[in-house]
Amino acid sequence: MKGQKVGYVRVSSVEQNTGRQLEGIEVDRIFVDRASGKNTDRPKFQEMLNYVREGDRVIVHSMDRFARSLKDLVTEVDKLVKRGIAIQFVKENITFTAQSTPMDNLMLQLMGAFAQFEREIILERQKEGIKLASVQGKYKGRVHKLKPDKAEALRQAWKEGQYPSKMALGQAFGISRQAVYRYLKAGEELS
């Protein structure tokens, strides 16, 4: 049974270009996530997993676009293969199927481990760079969107119950719900 070729593309931010990942590769359907790959809880990733059927082939640019951790990579590839779905990684030039050999599985483990190691090294270098820049006075951290008086007004509005939810409060002040939590927590620490 010949199935569909299903492409999966992931970029970490809205600004990143998705075009190059599967350039020149014909697919019947493509799923694009604009989200971090730190876990498998990505909308289009989950939609793709629900869409594919036995005999289909999932085509991904590279292992690090599919999963960031070795555990997630091995788990998700294994789930697909057990369902009779092939998964092809273009950059690594490797495909996994139900007929994959123990050597193929070893390659998956090794390549996944190297990809995870590379990510961890990049994060370590980033932290070292931030620390060095901080010591030199060049790094100031995240820019706060609200000035102190606005932050206090936000906390007061919440305390007085002027908004039904933190989401509504954030919308009124032009910040995300997560930022509302940060400002409220910072206010508790000041008290």
- Look-up of token digits 């070292």: 128
Report the catalytic residues. 12
Q: What's the gap between Cα 131 and its chain centre?
A: 25
CA angle at residue 93 from 89 to 97, to 5 degrees?
A: 60
Tokens representing 134? Answer: 């901080």
- Look-up of token digits 């569909």: 4
Collect all residues with Cβ–Cβ distance below 8 Å to 176 and sequence separation of at least 6: 170
